[in-house]
Every structure is written in structure tokens, then in C-alpha cells.
Amino acid sequence: MFCQKCGSECKEGALFCSNCGAPLVVQGESDNISNIPDHLVMSILTTLFCCIPFGIVSIVYAVKAGMSKESGNVEKARFYSKKAFLWSIWGIIFGIAFVMLYGLISFLTMHDPLC
Ligand SMILES: [Zn+2]
């Protein structure tokens, strides 16, 4: 686990940070569930502008994250939130790579004297 004050790594189960001495808060399960992002907006944008297959997977995970949040399941909400984020990122990377490749191909064919 990590100290919330100085960010240094502390022994699992330690009550105080070995670096700065701040009391280590045992991860409050219910008070920070609302802070978990479900990345729904990002996944929808990924679907619309980048890569539909990746975006849809991301939306599915985002919705699951939202549902887990509503039912108060922190572990699942975190898990799906991460997945949704990762799939969105992959979708964006794929989308950009695709656009660049497309641009490169059209650039090359435009300057090809044989065409
Ligand atoms: Zn500390």
C-alpha cells in the first residue's frame, strides 16, 4: 500500500507511514466509490470517432462499472473502470494509427507518377 500523504510505499498492514509518519488510511470502501470514473463518455467518444469494436467493448465495461458503482461493489467498479479505460485508449491508438496509415497511403498514391 502507499502513503496518501507522501506517496511512498509502506508495509502492508502498517498503521503509520515509515517515511513521513502519517497515519495510513485503510482504503475506505464506501466513501470513495463515487470517485471511481466509469469512463462512459470517453468510451462513447472512442466509438464515435475512433474505433467502433474497441469502443463498444469499452462501453460495455463502462456500463458494468457504473452498475457496480450503483450496487456498491468497489472491487468490481474499479476492475471494470480500468478495463473501460484501457479499451478506450486502445481504440484511440488504433483510430489514430488507422488515420495516419490512411493518410500515408493516400499521400503516397497521390505522388505516385503511375497513378
Ligand atoms: Zn508518508
Q: What average pLDDT does range 12-30 have in this prediction?
A: 76
Residue 67 has pLDDT above 50, yes or no: yes
Other CB atoms within 10 A of residue 86 CB: 15
Estimate the share of the chain in helix, then strand, then coil, as percent rounded to the nearest 5.
60, 5, 35
pLDDT at position 79 = 95
Residue 100 has pLDDT above 60, yes or no: yes
Q: What is the mean pLDDT of the chain?
A: 86
Query: Around ion ligand 1, which residues have CB less than 5 A away?
Result: 3, 5-6, 17, 19-20, 22
Distance 74 CA to ligand 1 centre (A): 24
The CA-based angle 73-77-82, given to 5 degrees, is 160
pLDDT at position 26 = 62
